[in-house]
Structure formats: structure tokens, C-alpha cells
Structure 1
Amino acid sequence: MLRRRPSLLIRPELDDDLLHATLAELRPALQLHGLGAGSSRPVWEPAARLLRATGWDWDRRAHRVSVLARNIPAAIPERWVADRPGHGDALLLSACAAVARVPVGDPAAVRQAEQACLRAADACPGDPTPWLALFSLMRACAVPVRDAVPVWTEAVNRAPWHRGAYHQMLGYLSPRGHGTLSDMLDFAWQSAVQAPHGSPLAVLPVAARVELGAHRQGLTGLAAIGASGHWNELRAAEELDRALSGWFHTAVAPHAEAMTDLNLLAFALTRAHRPAEAALVLRRVGRHMTRHPWDLLPEPERAFLYWRDGAAG
């Protein structure tokens, strides 16, 4: 008999099964407009339970809060804050939800989101997540990088080598954000060199090179010539070697967005014509495809399955 190929899991929670279960618990609230009608427990209880279980794992906390903020009704964190005024987790989720939904052309809404981030920071003094939310808001509002750096520094002072913080800064420095190619590439390279062995920041230069490709892909005319040639550069090979030896082949426990980094690394290895190493990475990825960076290809899922199934074979 023919065996059915398992479907891909393309989801914001990645391989976080506890986060996935929490989102599923909150789904009925979507039908009730987040009000929890007919239930004896607060509608926000699954989110509260998840964040209690996360504890001080700042990397995983930032990932979980970000996914919740973007994928649950705004009424849930609003109700939580109303029921538990001053509660740190409630204020944090409410602030992140406000940032995720803020219309940047509305100065009053931006100001409210900013104040929500600062209230969450006061309530969670050791947590970098409110500062990362504020940093994200500043990026959305096109605040110059130099003015946003102090906010980013508040986050990394609380959690040195925080994976999410460095990727946020990378996006800020990108020419598709508010920076330049040289700023972005230099930041990624220096961060990877300085980060401790086993840190996922070893993959940051690879992420920057993927972003470089995305930038060049959006160009037209003469500027677009050789848009993919950067994968053949000597420095690209050095970056991939560093990512493999400095993170992939180490014995460190997986971080919250490991699947994102694995997809970045696998994609880059296929672009650099290193299929054997790409196969090793894709075996670890399994079904957990991320939309980016495969969306840089004409048929993302087909391309992913081509390389992934080749790895399995």
C-alpha cells in the first residue's frame, strides 16, 4: 500500500505543543467574542496557566506571549486586566496585543500602546519582553534606529544573548526595515562572534544573508542582476560553517524558536549547494516548515518537500 505523506505543520507556535494546546483551549472563546459566556472559569485562564508554567525562561516567554498576542481575540487580555488589575502577566499580554494591533497612523493608539508597554515593564521589572514589545512598536512607527537602541538595550540587559532581541534588531537594521545592508551584516557577524558557544545567535549571519537575498529579490533592473550570487561568496560559507559548528552540532537544549532557525539554516544550505548538510538539518525539522524563508521561492511548500523528502530518502 502507498503510505500517506504526513501533512506539514506551518503554524506560529512551531513545535511548542503546550502553546498549541493553549491556543486550542482559547478557540471556543473566539465564538463567544472573548467573553467566556457559559463558562465557570475566566476566559483568560488557559493563557495565565501557560505563562505561569513558562516561568523565567525569557526566550520561551517572549515567543509564547507574541504568538498569543497575535492569535487570540483582543477581548481576552482586556478581560484579564479588568479582572486582575496590576497583574504582571495580564499587563504584558495586553501590551503585546495592543502593539500587534496598533494602527501606526493613529498617534493616540500608538501612545496608548506605548503606555501599556511601560506599565507592563513596571509590573515585570526583570522581564525583557515588555521592552521588546516597545521596540517592535518603535520599528512599526519608523523611529530612527539610534532612538530605539536604548529600549533594545533595556531588553538585552535583562536577558543577555536573547535570541528574539537580536533578530528584532536585525530586522530593524535591514534595508527593508530602517537600516542599511552594511549595518545589518556587521551587526549579525559581530553578534555571532561574541555570543557564547551553543547560542542560536550563531545562525544570525545566516538570517542576515537570507534577508540580503530578500532585499535583492525585491530590486529591479540592473540592481537585481546576480541577486542570488551572494550564496557563493567565501563569507557565506564561513557563516554556514559557524552556524553548523557553533549551534547545530552542539548539545544545547532547543530554544523556543529553534524550528525557525533550523528552517533558515536548511534553506541557506540548499541555496549554497550543500545538500548533504541541508539533509541533516531537515531531518530535525521534520514537518515543522516555516513560511519564511521558503516564501522567497516560487513554490515554497513544493520546494521544502523536495528537499525534506530527499533528506528522508
Structure 2
Amino acid sequence: MLRRRPSLLIRPELDDDALHAILAELRPAQQLHGLGAGRTRPLWEPVAELLHTTGRDWDRRVHRISVLAGSLPAAVAQRWVGDRPGDGDALVLQAFTLSGRAPAEGPAAARRAEQACLHAAQACPEDPTPWLALLSLLHSCAAPARDVVPVWREAVNRAPWNRTAHHRLLHYLSPRAHGTVPDMLDFAEQCAARAPYGSPLALLPVAARVELVAHRLRQDPLAALGASGSWNEPRAAKEIDGALTGWFHTAAAPHAEAVTDLNFLAFALTRTYRPAEAAAVFHRIGRHMTNHPWDLLADPKRTFLYWRDRSAGRRGK
């Protein structure tokens, strides 16, 4: 009998099973406009319990709050703030929710979101998360660097090596957003060089390389044809080696978005045709594929499965 291949898990919560359970419980409530009709307790209570157990793990806190804000009805945060006006977790979730929706709703909504971020920051003075919500808002609104960098510094002053903070500024500096190629690559290289051993920031230059490829693919057809050559540059091999030795091969505990970083690393190793090293990365990824960066290829899922299955065969030898 043929063994059925397990389906891929492509989801914003990644491998966070506790977060997945909360989303599975609350997502049907979208049909009820987030008001919790028919429930014995408010919709926000399981979210409050999850964030309480998360504590001061800032890395996991920002991952969970950003996913919750993007997945749940806005009414969940609104009701929570209404029921518990001074609750810091409620204010931070509301800040993320408003910041994510504001760019599509106009300048007035952006101003309300900014005030919500500052209010949450005042309520949670040691927490970098409200500043990351504000950083995302400023990015979406194309704010100038003189306004963005101080907000980023507020976040890293509270969590110096926070992965999300560095990746969000990297995206701001990307030529696909508001920066330039030299600024983006230099920022990634400098952060990786200063990061402690075992930090996921060792992979920041690889993420910058992916952004560079995405930028080139968006250019004219001739530039797109040559985009794959980005992986043949000597600097690319150095970036991948740094990610392997500085993060992947260390004994560092998995961080909240490790699945995302593993997908970036596997993608880079396949683009540079290093299947032996990719095998160990795919083994750790398992079923948890992320849409990006595989979406830069013509057939993302098929390509991912090809390399994963090829890697599994290599490991079995």
C-alpha cells in the first residue's frame, strides 16, 4: 500500500501549537462578528490567558500578538479594552489591530492607531511590542527614516536582539519599500556581526539576500533573468555560512519564528545547490512550509516538496 505523504502546514502561527489552538477556537466567531454570541465567556479570555502565559518572552509575545491581530475580528480587541480598559495586553493587541488596518482606512485611522500604540507603550513601559506595532504603522504609511529609526531604537532598547524588530527595519530599508540595496545589505551585515552567538540575527544577511532577489525579479525582464545570479556572488556564500555556523549549528533554543528562518535558510541552500546541508534544514522544517520566500519561484509548493523529499532521501542513505 502506498504511504500518503503528510500535507504541508502553511499557517501564520507556524509551529506554535498553543497559538494555533486559540485561533481554531476563535475563528468561527468571525461569523458572529466577533461579539461572542452563544459563548459562556468573552472571546478575549482565551487570548488573555495565552498572553499571560507568554509573559516577558518578548520574541514569542510579538509573534503571537501580531498573528492574533491579523487573524481575529477587530471586535475581539475592542471588547477586551472595553471590558478591561487598563489591561496592557488588551491595549497592545488593539494597537496591533488598528495599525494593521489603518493604511487602508485613511489618515484619521492612522492617527488613531498611532495614539493606540503610544497609549499601549505607556501602559507597558518595558515591553518592546507596542513600539513594533508603531514601527509597522510607520512603514505602511511610508514615514521618513528620521521618524522610523527612533521608534526602532525604542524597541531594541527594551529587547536588544529581538528578531522581529530587526526584520521589520530590514523590510523598511529594502529597495522594495523605502530604502536602497546598500543600506539594506549593510544593516543586515552589521547586525549579524554584532549579534551574540546563537542569535537568529545571524540569518539577517540571508533574508536581505532574498529581498535583493525579490527586488531584482520586480525589475525589467532582463534583470529578472539575471536575478538567480545573486546567489552566485561570493558574498552570498559567506552569508549562508554565517547563518549555518552562527545560528543553525548552535545549541540555541528555537525562537518563535524559527520556522520562518529555517525556510529562508533552506531556500538559500537550494538556490546555491548545497543539498547535503539543506537536508538537515529540511529535516528540522518538517511539514512547516512558509509561503515566502518560496513564492519567488514559479511553482512554490512543488519546488519545496522536491527539495524536501530529495533531502529526506539523502538523509536516509
Q: What is the TM-score when the length of structure 1 is the normalising length?
A: 0.98
Residue of structure 2 equivalent to 1:54: 54
Work out the CA distance in 2 between the residues paired with 1:170 and 1:150.
Answer: 14
Q: Runs of 5+ in structure 2 lacking a partner? A: none
Per the alignment, residue 99 of structure 1 pairs with 99
| Structure 1 equivalent of residue 191 of structure 2 | 191
Instruction: Work out whether residues 156 and 162 of structure 2, in 8 Å CA contact, stay in contact via their aligned partners in 1.
Output: yes
Which residue is equivalent to 2:300?
A: 300
What is the correspondence of 1:157-306 to structure 2 with a 5 Å cutoff? Answer: 157-306=157-306
Contact 1:267–1:293 under 8 Å retained in 2: yes
**What letter corresponds to residue 284 of structure 1 in structure 2?**
R
Counterpart of 1:153?
153
Q: CA deviation at 1:88?
A: 0.3
Match of 2:129 in 1: 129
CA distance in 2, matches of 1:72, 1:203: 30
- Extract unaligned runs of 5+ from structure 1: none
Contact conserved, 1:99 with 1:133, CA < 8 A, in 2? yes
Cα drift, residue 224 of structure 1: 3.6
* Distance (whole Å) between structure 1 residues aligned to residue 245 and residue 256 of structure 2: 20
Name the aligned partner's letter for residue 165 of structure 2.
A
Task: Verify the 8 A CA contact 1:35 1:76 in the aligned structure 2.
Answer: yes
- Report matched runs for 1:30-49 at 5 Å: 30-49=30-49
Stretch deviating more after TM superposition (300-309 or 30-39): 30-39
1:95-150, CA deviations, whole angstroms, 9 ceiling, x for partnerless residues? 10011111356111110000000010011110001000001000000011232100
- Output the amino acid matched with 1:253: A
1:15 alignment partner in structure 2:
15
Counterpart residue identity of residue 205, structure 2? P
Match of 2:310 in 1: 310
Provide the secondary structure at the position in 2 that maps to 1:6.
Answer: coil
Which is further off, 287-296 or 23-32?
23-32
Q: Is the CA contact (8 Å cut-off) linking 1:62 and 1:129 kept in structure 2?
A: yes
Between stretches 162-171 and 225-234, larger displacement belongs to 225-234
**For residues 146 and 171 of structure 1, what CA distance do their matches in structure 2 show?**
16
Deviation at 1:260, TM superposition (A): 0.1
Amino acid across the alignment from 2:194: Q
Q: How many residues align?
A: 313
Amino acid in the other structure paired with 1:185: L
The 10-residue stretch of structure 1 (284-293 or 234-243) with the greater mean CA deviation from structure 2: 234-243
Equivalent runs, 1:61-140 vs 2, <5 Å:
61-104=61-104, 106-140=106-140
1:31, distance to aligned residue in structure 2 (A): 2.1
Give deviations 1:230-262, integer Å, cap 9, x for gaps: 111111111111100100000010000000000
* C-alpha displacement of 1:221: 4.2
Is 1:202–1:247's contact at 8 Å kept on the other side of the alignment?
Answer: yes
Q: Is the 8 A contact 1:152 1:165 kept in 2?
A: yes
Per-residue deviation at 1:38?
2.1
Hey, what's the Cα distance between the residues in 1 that align with 2:104 and 2:173? 19
Displacement of 1:182: 0.2
Letter in 2 for 1:175: P
The answer on whether the counterparts of 1:104 and 1:110 sit within 8 Å (CA) in structure 2 is no
Distance 1:31 1:130, change over 3 A: same
> Is 1:104–1:140's contact at 8 Å kept on the other side of the alignment?
no
> After TM superposition, which residue ranges in structure 1, 4 or more long, deviate above 4 angstroms?
none
**Preserved CA contact (<8 Å) 1:78 1:94:** yes
Looking at structure 1, the residues matched to 235 and 114 of structure 2 have their Cα atoms a distance apart, in angstroms, of 40
2:25 matched residue in structure 1: 25
Contact 1:240 1:265 in 2 (8 A): yes
Q: TM-score, normalised by structure 2?
A: 0.97
Q: C-alpha distance in 2, partners of 1:221/1:166?
A: 31
Which amino acid counterpart does residue 114 of structure 2 have in structure 1? E
**Deviation for aligned residue 1:28:** 3.0
Deviation at 1:46, TM superposition (A): 1.0
CA shift at 1:40, angstroms?
2.2
Aligned CA RMSD, in angstroms, stands at 1.0
